[in-house]
Amino acid sequence: MSKKALLSSIALILVAGNLTYAQRSQVQIARNSIGKLHVAINSKADEKSQLGIVGEGIKASEAAQNDRKTKKWPETWAIKAYLSSYVSVIDADEGNADRYFSLANDAIDSARRLDKFQTNSRLIDAAIYNVNIRKQNKANTAFNNNDFATAYKLLKDVSDFFPKDTTLAMNTGISAQNVQDYDNALTYFKRAKDNGARNSILFQNLANIYTSKFENELAIKSLEDGLRLNPYDANLTNSYINLLIDNEKYETAIKVIDNTLKIDTKNKLLYFLYGYLHQYNANYTTAELAYNKALSIDENYFDALYQLGLAYVNSANNALKSSEADKNQKYQSFINRAEIALLQAHEINQNDKSTVQLLIEIYTRKNKLDKVQELKSKLEEF
């Protein structure tokens, strides 16, 4: 080989060596930027300073990914994934944050594919963590804007990544419920429950879904579980009592109401339901006491007035059937009280047909035919 040829070969080797070194140095620059970033975070450097450091590292990693050799290194992509994901979390510019969120996801895919020996798993895991934080932020915005379809799409990934986070599971379930994906809503609500969530809304939602699926025993159990954690919660208690009544578990409902009224003495609805259940069992005296208690809280409580009038009518009928000497006197007393209660109910809601029909019955018994005709004319107007 001539001297000139030898010098040319040496020059090519030096150039190639310098290029390889240059690309390796880009990976080193990117690697060093991670260390600088952690120092900046620990020293509470501002966002602008942190973004400057990260930007330098991303630029170096992109130079390395464009090199024929270092683009095959999993570290190149792991570093880019981590740094890009960090930008997506801290950058206040939503457009820029979204761009780096996308870059981070692409880089994570490449890093995972190339990192066959998992030597960069810590960086990749940190990048995935940051990506999920970004997803959570985007999901929260969508959730607060009632965009439940977008929120659910993002939240289910985040909840699967943080399965022990009960708030995430709850919000995922609520989002699924709002897009009528009840099976998945149930999955995430159960996840929240299994991980110790105590929120009464959780148990209410579980019961609602089970009820919609006609799984009434599971709905009842869900409300019982919720009440054990939230004793005397008004919404849970009312739902529980209503569900018991709907499923004809009247004795249990009476016991629940009785116990609740020892604590919640100003709940007119509970007094009404207590009266209604006793009336159903023909315990008219107890029913009348309960309705009157509800009316002492709200004297214009239409439902209580109507049912009280009906209870007095039933008591009057029973008085007539008795063998007591004063049965006619008792009958008249109950009918008079029924009239007073139903007139009050009619005054509150003059368009209620059932009230008018009961008054017609009472006035027919009393032979007040003018009143009967007046009410019948009104009934025809409905």
More confident residue, 11 or 1: 1
Residue 301's CATH number: 1.25.40.10
The answer to whether 241 and 257 have CB atoms below 8 angstroms apart is yes
pLDDT surpasses 90 at 4: no
For position 232, what pLDDT does the model report? Answer: 86
Confidence tier at 64 by pLDDT (50, 70, 90): very high
Asked whether residue 204 is domain-assigned, the answer is no
pLDDT surpasses 70 at 21: no
Residue 36's Cα: distance from chain center in Å?
41
More confident residue, 4 or 162: 162
Both tokens of 252, joined, read: 């249990």
Confidence tier at 241 by pLDDT (50, 70, 90): very high
Least-confidence region, from 73-82, 184-193, 261-270, 303-312: 261-270
The domain boundary residue, chosen from 109, 129, 145:
145
Asked whether residue 314 is domain-assigned, the answer is yes
pLDDT digits (tens, 9 = 90+) for 296-309: 999 999 999 999 99
226-251 mean pLDDT: 95
Q: How far apart are CA 305 and CA 343, in angstroms?
A: 9
Q: How far apart are CA 382 and CA 374, in angstroms?
A: 13
pLDDT digits (tens, 9 = 90+) for 92-105: 999 999 999 999 99
Residue 100's CATH number: 1.25.40
pLDDT digits (tens, 9 = 90+) for 77-136: 999 999 999 999 999 999 999 999 999 999 999 999 999 999 999 999 999 999 999 999
For position 20, what pLDDT does the model report? Answer: 44
Asked whether residue 89 is domain-assigned, the answer is yes
Q: How far apart are CA 181 and CA 174, in angstroms?
A: 10
Confidence tier at 22 by pLDDT (50, 70, 90): low
pLDDT surpasses 70 at 10: no
Q: How far apart are CA 260 and CA 332, in angstroms?
A: 35
For position 17, what pLDDT does the model report? Answer: 38
Confidence tier at 215 by pLDDT (50, 70, 90): very high
pLDDT surpasses 60 at 16: no
Residue 315's nearest CA partner among 344, 275, 348 is 275
The domain in which residue 128 lies consists of 8-145
For position 188, what pLDDT does the model report? Answer: 98
The domain boundary residue, chosen from 107, 124, 145:
145
For position 374, what pLDDT does the model report? Answer: 93
pLDDT surpasses 90 at 342: yes
Asked whether residue 96 is domain-assigned, the answer is yes
Q: Please provide the average confidence, as pLDDT, over all residues in the chain.
A: 93
Asked whether residue 239 is domain-assigned, the answer is no
Asked whether residue 173 is domain-assigned, the answer is no
Asked whether residue 194 is domain-assigned, the answer is no
Both tokens of 308, joined, read: 């009280």
The domain boundary residue, chosen from 145, 179, 207:
145
Give me the number of domains the chain comprises.
2
Compute the half-sphere exposure of residue 173: CA atoms within 13 Å on the CB side of its CA.
25
Asked whether residue 189 is domain-assigned, the answer is no
pLDDT surpasses 50 at 13: no
